[in-house]
Amino acid sequence: MPHSSNIPQTNALAPIFVSHGSPMLVARQSTPAFNFLHTELPDHLDGAQAILIVSAHWQAPVATISTAQHQKTIHDFYGFPDALYQLHYDVAGAPDLASTIAQKIGAKTDDQRGLDHGAWMPMILARPQADIPVFQLSMIENGSPADHFALGKKLRGLREMGVLVIGSGAMTHNLRALDRNDGPNADAWAEEFCQWMVENTKQHDIDTLLAYRSKAPHARMAHPHDDHLMPFYVALGAADDHYVCKTLHHSIEFGNLAMTALRFYDQETSIKAA
């Protein structure tokens, strides 16, 4: 697994896609996904002066950036144990930087918006000290994969500003199909969908990826709605044209909830293979 000590500066801010899973993730401390987010993802945040997260849980009519000085913790989930609602990620935003980025990419700003659980849950595990400013960029309401890929391309210059782009969603997300008993076996359709996505990503077949709805196996089963896959396309768009995709983590929870994490490096020769 690549660590900050052997990642050159050009790749220290390479965009990342993470699957944030269920709100119960923070309580299920024995899972492979928890271990990845808590013990391995932290190394991939080193070098960032600020983090811009695109979460599956914020959609706006047009791309919008949160410019609040203090990023409040939004508990945007229901019916979970009380302890989850007591969790708070007390992190600063970066209003001036966020406003500059908004102007650069033609986005609106929102000085009231905080961090939804797609943003703060991975961060509370990976960076509990909350010492890096974090702010969000919304998805585009009813936007297509192509729309979000284009949005990601607008973020390519952010590395020069010290900003790490993270897309936070899910490689598969079908809540009705979940095995609530969380048995040991993964559904074949979920594995096949993930394999198709990762293989086409590593092969740079962007056109095929953008048409995943009609081309990917089990697409409708994997994503009855597009929202949780759109952050992947933003991270992909933010990558260099000649990116090298590395799988940072892959596991499946609840039978078919894929917790895949990918990173899009610039230079293969300088990165140790995952």
Q: What is the pLDDT of residues 55-72, one digit of tens each?
A: 999 999 999 999 999 999
Under the banding of pLDDT at 50, 70 and 90, the label for residue 29 is confident
Determine contact, residues 163/134, Cβ cutoff 8 Å: no
Determine contact, residues 157/104, Cβ cutoff 8 Å: yes
DSSP 8-state assignment for residue 115? B
The two structure tokens encoding residue 63: 């791309």
Could you give the CA distance from residue 240 to residue 249 in angstroms, rounded to a whole number? 21
The two structure tokens encoding residue 135: 């702010």
Mean pLDDT for all residues in the chain: 92
Could you give the CA distance from residue 61 to residue 36 in angstroms, rounded to a whole number? 33
pLDDT tens, 127-185?
999 999 999 999 999 999 999 999 999 999 999 999 999 999 999 999 999 998 777 78
Residue positions counted in the chain: 274
The two structure tokens encoding residue 252: 């499946």
**CA end-to-end span of the chain:** 4
Could you give the CA distance from residue 97 to residue 150 in angstroms, rounded to a whole number? 21
Under the banding of pLDDT at 50, 70 and 90, the label for residue 268 is low
pTM of the model: 0.93
pLDDT tens, 219-258?
999 999 999 999 999 999 999 999 999 999 999 999 999 9
Under the banding of pLDDT at 50, 70 and 90, the label for residue 23 is confident
The two structure tokens encoding residue 117: 């659980």
Left (φ > 0), alpha (ψ -120 to 50) or beta: where does 66 sit? beta
**Three-point CA angle 120, 122, 125, nearest 5°:** 100
CA distances from 11 to 159, 167, 243, 267 (A): 9, 16, 10, 8
